[in-house]
């Protein structure tokens, strides 16, 4: 694994996504650090766009003859640099890929790992869709979200207005309620008047030991605290989504049954009620971070998804 890149230097060197072209040394170091130089993309682009007061880092990969696009939304505490396996899979299907770092994550601006209101995530998603149009990325635009990224897409499908350009939606271990949600709410109410954040507790959320070690010890873009503001925003979002009208959409849902991060049984019941015949693929041994699960588990759900995106 190469030595760490310098995040601040990379952020300072980025150009607007629509104008980004030649790689800088900082961009090459970033791509090498996260393994993107191994991808079979014909070309790629790393830059940013402005939306809702945030400077959002984004990157695009094109295969030789793209036939569709995958918009990729990462999970809480994550960033796009951790999603090489999903990008590689999508490129293999002939999809261009647009990924972006959520506010407060990765190379994007904003207080680390925080948000004032989940509605801000919808504004950022809309900004990404505007970028997809500006770059003339091929339609349909399929959507894929891991955990909190999945929550953002659930919100979009239930309360937004997806246009005909939007294709299938993939939800990987989607967040509706986290595990032990009642206790989390009680803790939030007790702590919010006294502290603005608490130390982050890392979990073994994948069967890939190399990934767990990398995230916990080597990744310079990992936040080390849990802002109480984010928990407050989530507490406002959960009842709004659980009370939202039903959608005629039928997302593809992948869920690990060894997931100790989200309340997955409750969440699947909610999603089956909210969507018309969602297709659900459950993996007995899989944990929460499906985008970085062990290779055999990843391949099983990639096969499931590939058959439904042809």
pLDDT for the residue 91: 98
Give the pLDDT of residue 298.
98
What tokens appear for 299 in the block?
A: 């391949």
Q: Is the pLDDT of residue 1 over 70?
A: no
**Based on the number of CB atoms within 10 Å of its own CB, is 235 exposed (0-12), middle (13-18) or buried (19 or more)?**
middle
Q: What is the set of domains in the chain, with CATH numbers?
A: 7-307 (3.40.50.1820)
Per-residue pLDDT, averaged over 260-288, amounts to 98
Contact in structure between 215 and 82 (CB atoms under 8 Å): yes
Q: Is the pLDDT of residue 186 over 70?
A: no
pTM given for the model:
0.96
Mean pLDDT of 74-80: 98
Confidence at residue 22, expressed as pLDDT on a 0 to 100 scale: 65
Percent of the chain with pLDDT over 70: 96
> First-to-last CA distance in the chain?
34
**Is a pLDDT exceeding 70 seen at residue 94?**
yes
pLDDT value of residue 190: 67
- Residues in contact with 298: Cβ distance below 8 Å, sequence separation at least 6, in sequence order: 85, 290
Percentage of the residues of the chain whose pLDDT score is greater than 90: 88
Dump pLDDT digits (tens) for 145-156.
999 999 999 999
Give me the pLDDT at residue 183, please: 61
What's the whole-number mean pLDDT along residues 118-137? 98
- In this prediction, residue 20 has a pLDDT band, given cuts at 50, 70 and 90, of confident
1's enclosing H/E stretch is none
What is the average pLDDT score of the chain?
94
The whole-number pLDDT of residue 101 equals: 99
Three-state DSSP class for residue 262:
strand
* 87 within 8 A of 99, measured Cβ to Cβ: yes
């Amino acid at each position: 694994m190469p030595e760490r890149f310098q995040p601040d230097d990379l952020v300072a060197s980025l150009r607007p996504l629509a104008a980004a072209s030649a790689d800088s040394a900082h961009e090459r170091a970033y791509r090498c650090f996260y393994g993107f130089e191994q991808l079979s993309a014909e070309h790629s682009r790393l830059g940013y766009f402005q939306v809702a007061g945030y400077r959002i880092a984004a990157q695009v990969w094109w295969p030789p003859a793209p036939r569709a696009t995958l918009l990729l939304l990462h999970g809480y505490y994550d960033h796009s640099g951790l999603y090489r396996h999903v990008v590689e899979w999508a490129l293999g299907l002939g999809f261009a890929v647009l990924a972006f770092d959520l506010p407060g994550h990765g190379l994007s601006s904003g207080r680390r790992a925080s948000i004032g209101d989940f509605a801000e995530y919808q504004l950022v998603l809309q900004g990404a869709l505007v970028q997809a149009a500006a770059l003339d990325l091929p339609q349909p635009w399929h959507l894929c979200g891991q955990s909190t990224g999945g929550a953002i897409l659930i919100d979009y499908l239930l309360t937004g207005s997806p246009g005909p350009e939007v294709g299938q939606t993939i939800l990987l271990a989607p967040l509706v309620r986290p595990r032990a949600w009642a206790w989390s709410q009680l803790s939030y109410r007790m702590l919010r008047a006294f502290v603005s954040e608490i130390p982050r507790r890392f979990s073994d959320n994948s069967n890939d030991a190399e990934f767990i070690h990398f995230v916990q010890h080597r990744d310079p873009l990992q936040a080390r605290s849990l802002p109480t503001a984010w928990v407050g925003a989530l507490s406002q979002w959960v009842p709004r989504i659980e009370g939202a009208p039903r959608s005629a959409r039928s997302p593809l849902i992948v869920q690990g049954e060894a997931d100790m991060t989200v309340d997955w049984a409750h969440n699947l019941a909610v999603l089956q009620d909210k969507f018309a015949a969602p297709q659900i693929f459950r993996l007995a041994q899989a944990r929460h971070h499906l985008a970085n699960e062990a290779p055999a588990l990843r391949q099983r759900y990639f096969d499931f998804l590939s058959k439904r995106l042809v």
